[in-house]
Structure 1
Amino acid sequence: MRRATYRNAALISGAFFLAAAAHAWADSADRFPQEKPVETAVPELPAAVPAAVPEIAAAFDALQTDPATAGLKVDWSALKFYYAAHGNNALWTTSNGYTLLGQAWIVQVPRAVRAGMPMAEQTLFKIAGMTPPVDSASQTRNEALMSAVFVASAVDAVGPLGSAKLRGPAVLDKVAAAKDPGDAIGQQWPAYYRFWSLYAKLPTYVGYYQAGGWPSVPKVDKVEPGQSSSVIPAVRARLQYTGELLAPTHTDEVYDTELQAAVALFQRTHGLNDDGVIGGRTLEEMNVSAEKRLQMIVLNLDRMREQGGKFEPRHLIVNIPSQEVKVVEDGKVQFMTKAIVGKIDRKTPTLDSVIKVAKFNPEWNAPHKIASNDEVRRMRADPSFLESHGFTVYDGNGMEVDPSAIDWHSVGPGNFPYRLVQAPGPENALGPVKLDFPNKDAVYLHGTNQKQLFAKQDRYFSSGCMRMQQPIDMAAFLLADDPDYQRPRIDQIVESGKTVLVPLRTPMPVHVVYMTAWTDEDGVLQFRKDMYRYDRYADIPKDLQPGANLIAEAAEPAKPAKTESK
């Protein structure tokens, strides 16, 4: 399947950039800007006058009998009626080229196909043979093909996502009215590398929901492999329903190795430690209903549609619920490390920025909120804490202050006229590397002096920043194209303890997102607990019928709050 997708993408990768304008549009869409462009005055142009394609009904009739397009799931009569009702005006084409919307169509198809959008090979051949219009006849053929393909595959047009009002040709009105053609087409043909594989899971979970869902498992404190428990048959039934356990050979109450492997698999796909122990968190995830899992898939597909257009071909992504940092290039994960993210009351914000510098052996300027709360509390418990952990205290004039001269019980939030700076070293809260990037929340990626926390199942311990388990490896990966800073040199710098700033030759776009359902690199569906309570689910119709839309309108997730960092 994956090989076929790549072959299909290759069929059209070179054929779509059909006009000079389309070339420029595609190039600018994929290149991450290194410098702020110079703003120039743009003259006002007269509004475009729609060009009519009076013979388009006949072109649709031809496509309906063409082997390359006859299989498209299109209501051809409705499509012809749509154009007739709109004066047969062209949407995508002109008599000698393409409209801005048409150029967006041309650019987005290969991106979406590369990301996994299903499309028949013969249809792709047909599209690849399309050349820019040069007269009314070629314009009409292209217009008909572009609309037929779009209506047959646009997410809103075919369901089950989005509003039922946009099914079929009605989706054309939505994209025609859009202010940003690229964004409009991108939401209908998402090019985010996880969208289509998650989208493919919808029918299975619709089926689970329509069947009434899986059996629940009674509560139990803990069951370890080899033990006997009355809940074991229920666990077998639960995991057999969703496929983690295939045709069990045991029916008794003994927790056998066959079931242990299935439990461990379930734990991995739900972000739990895969120790095979059946405890509270494992049972909590097993007993999430099929309805909620379906709602999670729908919600996260909507997030991917909304956010997918901002992801460059090569980028670093932090997913807060999965507590991971990944570098992705052309849809493939090139580097991954575990992460520690913000506490529930000091949430990591979602954001988009660019990493331009790696800072080795960084000092840490403790944010005022952290210094006046956390560090003051530690000093009250241990008067030697600041000194033993490499901190220097400065007053409001920048003068160094002896920590022993401060009455730590008289200062705190609202009354802390000091600044705390921690020197590089093994106790430094930022660890050996800091990857900084501009953002309003003053958060960044860095290492940590609390490495033991990476063994935890739920790693919500920071004050907003993202701590990496392998910070030096990540920095070396980002600097791989710099011959002056290969791994041996990096190790020497870290060992020296001296602060060194190294600009990245290739700045790395960074995106911090919040996704609670997705498919991993092997196509395996992953779910994570909504720890920040951002998920807002739309109701699924209780009498959902096959082929019907799942929701009337997509629910908007809660907006992350601004946080401080550590």
Structure 2
Amino acid sequence: MKYLSKGWILLLILAVAACGRKKGQPRQQEIVKDLRQLDEVVPEQIAERLEYIAGNDGAMEDSIAVFRLSALQYVYQQNNGAAKWSKDGRANAAVSSMLQLINTADDYGLVKAHYHADPLRTSSARLKNEKRDAALWAKMDVFLTDAFLRMAYQLHYGIAPRDSITLRKDSLLSDTVLAGLLQEALSRGNVTSVLAQQEPIHPGYTALKEGIQLYKQHYGNRHWDTLPQAYTDTLQFRHQLGLRLLQSGHLDTTGVGLTDSLALRKAVKAFQNEFNIYPDGVAGKRTIQVLNKQPEDWLLQAAINLDRWRKLPDTLPLRYLMVNIPAFRLNVYENGDSAVESRVIVGNPRTRTPVLNSVMTNFVLYPYWRVPYSIVFKEMLPQIRKNVNYLAEKNLEVVDHQGNVISPDSINWSKLGRNYFPYVLRQMDGLDNSLGIMKFNFSNKFSVYLHDTNNRSLFSNSNRALSHGCVRVQQWDSLAMYMVRHDPKPYIRDSVRTWLVREEKKQYNLTERIPIYIRYFTAELRNHKMQFYEDIYGEDKTLMKYFTAK
């Protein structure tokens, strides 16, 4: 065929960007006589492939949609549409590092198939013996470029879509920026260092990547049998359970049989402790569900959480408070170290604690509790209609919109409901108050806050998704003392302690406001061990669709 000049190739690429004519599959083979002809023919083949992609709703030959068609087109508009990854039939040094990154994509919580792993592997193998095939070089080039652009973006922002809560204010990685990153990687002959710069630097992210490697080393090559979902204490079930625990290394059969009751109970406890299940040594419904998860399921859970870290800003404040909902834990971090840690109680699945960003402004000692209307209508009003003394039993008073306390006996409760309720129910302060002794305030549209509780025994529960949405803090006193330690008045700590002893209703305004992040992480590296938490709100399950092969 008559080869096009480089100028005509550039015009063809620009035309493709404008129209995107639908056509059949691009040519799969074009053999040149001389390797020196490749630099002229390969750009023609690239232009043909771009035309095919533009007219095929952005999908490539492996049916995977390109990351961003405009970015792909922009890359090849540079240098007259020349190939990026090869010259004169020789692959750029960056090709091997790009293929290696794709092959190990799951180490980064990424999906190999998103980067055309199979066609690239096949094309790379064929090129060893078919160096004069311009169509094959073009195919390899376009697939590698799209893989690089997608990986650069996903390492920076993650696979799942960005949302209003986690929206980052830094660069959106425009077509120009992405093309610049590709050029830098190709110039170096190594994409690894360029792409590594796109990853978060948060300690939690780095630790979770390390945890994935530890998990792979321990469980990566293992596979185990699944158990029947219903627990039955039969010899057959104990045999199945023992085999399953033996396969994952939790059961030690030295000197005992596979169905030994004491050995099985010990093994079940060991498994439950590792996967944050109440360690009763019984293979109940929840334990069996977790036992039936395969190593790849846990790695997917870790990958989803790496993705959540990528949604955070590039840098976090030097001092901030983080609530991890599924871990039922609060930490205050200062210069990367945990200064305060506490168990917490979070919202149950029907009244979830929201994911949010805010700034803590003050805390209140011996607070009133203004009962949210959702709780008033759903839980309290039916009880009040049955017996108005319910209000006194719960230490509640009725307040009108002018702030006046109203006698409950003067109200016709049967006429009140969602459409008409001109009052506020307020629980008076004291040890019986649902907010406990202290409430920590931060601005948010959900009307949630951190607080103590009058039912502190619940902190001993392993599953602490129990509240109406607010976060109950076990170590509320340690948190308060931390909040006041930066106050320039040296006596303020003693003052707070005095207010507590005297049961005085006080509000302390923070001299240095503290950013607060409420987040949802179901996997982390903690004390040098991978920790997985139950997906109490089903958020992991919602995100899994973005981690499929296509």
TM-score by length of 1: 0.61
Cα drift, residue 511 of structure 1: 0.6
Q: Write out aligned runs for 1:421-432 (5 A).
A: 421-432=426-437
Q: Is this contact kept in 1: 2:340–2:478, CA < 8 A? A: no
* Structure 2 residue aligned with 1:164: 115
Q: Which amino acid aligns with 2:244?
A: R
Deviations 1:168-191 (A, max 9, x none): 993597589815989x98983221
Q: Which amino acid aligns with 2:492?
A: Y
* 1:260–1:509 Cα change, 3 Å: farther
Deviations 1:453-502 (A, max 9, x none): 2233322222211111221222123323343333x543332232222111
Q: Which amino acid aligns with 1:194?
A: G
Distance across 2 between alignment mates of 1:440 and 1:481? 28
Whether 1:309 aligns to 2:287 is no
Whether 1:508 aligns to 2:514 is yes
Q: Is this contact kept in 1: 2:242–2:259, CA < 8 A? A: no
The alignment partner of 1:231 has SS state of helix
* Structure 2 residue aligned with 1:268: 273
Larger mean CA deviation between 236-245 and 161-170 belongs to: 161-170
Distance across 1 between alignment mates of 2:195 and 2:514? 26
* Structure 1 residue aligned with 2:406: 401
* 1:85–1:371 Cα change, 3 Å: closer
Distance across 1 between alignment mates of 2:333 and 2:99? 26
Q: Which amino acid aligns with 2:259?
A: E
Count of residues in correspondence between the two structures: 399
Whether 1:239 aligns to 2:239 is no
* Structure 2 residue aligned with 1:457: 462
The alignment partner of 1:341 has SS state of strand
Larger mean CA deviation between 195-204 and 366-375 belongs to: 195-204
* Structure 2 residue aligned with 1:484: 491
* Structure 2 residue aligned with 1:531: 536
Cα drift, residue 517 of structure 1: 1.8
Q: Is this contact kept in 2: 1:239–1:262, CA < 8 A? A: yes
Distance across 1 between alignment mates of 2:222 and 2:348? 36
Cα drift, residue 435 of structure 1: 0.9
Q: Is this contact kept in 1: 2:345–2:471, CA < 8 A? A: yes
Higher helix share: 2
Q: Is this contact kept in 2: 1:154–1:188, CA < 8 A? A: no
Q: Is this contact kept in 2: 1:187–1:306, CA < 8 A? A: no
* Structure 2 residue aligned with 1:188: 198
Distance across 2 between alignment mates of 1:342 and 1:507? 25
The alignment partner of 1:344 has SS state of coil
* 1:185–1:388 Cα change, 3 Å: farther
* Structure 1 residue aligned with 2:259: 253
Cα drift, residue 288 of structure 1: 2.5
Q: Is this contact kept in 2: 1:373–1:413, CA < 8 A? A: no
Cα drift, residue 216 of structure 1: 2.2
Q: Is this contact kept in 2: 1:271–1:527, CA < 8 A? A: yes
Structure 1 gaps of 5+ residues are 1-82, 89-146, 541-549, 554-566
* 1:376–1:167 Cα change, 3 Å: farther
Deviations 1:247-302 (A, max 9, x none): 6542242322x554443333233332223333222222212233422221221111
Q: Which amino acid aligns with 1:524?
A: K
* Structure 1 residue aligned with 2:352: 347
Higher Cα Rg, which structure: 2
| Identity fraction in percent | 27
Structure 2 gaps of 5+ residues are 1-74, 81-92, 117-142, 157-170, 179-193
Among 514, 518, 521, the residue aligned to 2:524: 518
Q: Is this contact kept in 1: 2:220–2:295, CA < 8 A? A: no
Q: Is this contact kept in 2: 1:445–1:465, CA < 8 A? A: yes
Larger mean CA deviation between 529-538 and 506-515 belongs to: 529-538
Distance across 2 between alignment mates of 1:345 and 1:393? 27
* Structure 1 residue aligned with 2:189: none
Distance across 1 between alignment mates of 2:492 and 2:452? 19
The alignment partner of 2:298 has SS state of helix
Among 357, 361, 371, the residue aligned to 1:356: 361
Q: Is this contact kept in 2: 1:317–1:513, CA < 8 A? A: yes
Deviations 1:348-375 (A, max 9, x none): 1100111121211111112222223322
Among 200, 217, 220, the residue aligned to 2:227: 217
* Structure 2 residue aligned with 1:328: 333
Q: Which amino acid aligns with 1:344?
A: P
* Structure 2 residue aligned with 1:444: 449
* Structure 2 residue aligned with 1:470: 475
Q: Is this contact kept in 2: 1:229–1:255, CA < 8 A? A: no
Among 319, 323, 340, the residue aligned to 1:318: 323
The alignment partner of 2:351 has SS state of coil
Q: Write out aligned runs for 1:73-92 (5 A).
A: none
* Structure 2 residue aligned with 1:93: none
Distance across 2 between alignment mates of 1:456 and 1:177? 43
The alignment partner of 2:261 has SS state of coil
Distance across 1 between alignment mates of 2:254 and 2:360? 50
* Structure 1 residue aligned with 2:173: 178
Whether 1:498 aligns to 2:504 is yes
Q: Is this contact kept in 2: 1:342–1:460, CA < 8 A? A: yes
Cα drift, residue 551 of structure 1: 5.4
Among 176, 199, 203, the residue aligned to 2:209: 199
Distance across 2 between alignment mates of 1:533 and 1:328? 27
Distance across 2 between alignment mates of 1:359 and 1:156? 53
Cα drift, residue 210 of structure 1: 7.8
Q: Which amino acid aligns with 1:159?
A: A
Q: Is this contact kept in 1: 2:242–2:258, CA < 8 A? A: no
Q: Which amino acid aligns with 2:390?
A: F
TM-score by length of 2: 0.62
Q: Is this contact kept in 1: 2:364–2:440, CA < 8 A? A: yes
Among 435, 438, 459, the residue aligned to 2:440: 435
Give the root-mean-square deviation of aligned CA atoms: 4.1
Distance across 1 between alignment mates of 2:152 and 2:258? 59
* 1:253–1:240 Cα change, 3 Å: closer
Q: Is this contact kept in 2: 1:390–1:428, CA < 8 A? A: yes
Q: Which amino acid aligns with 1:178?
A: L
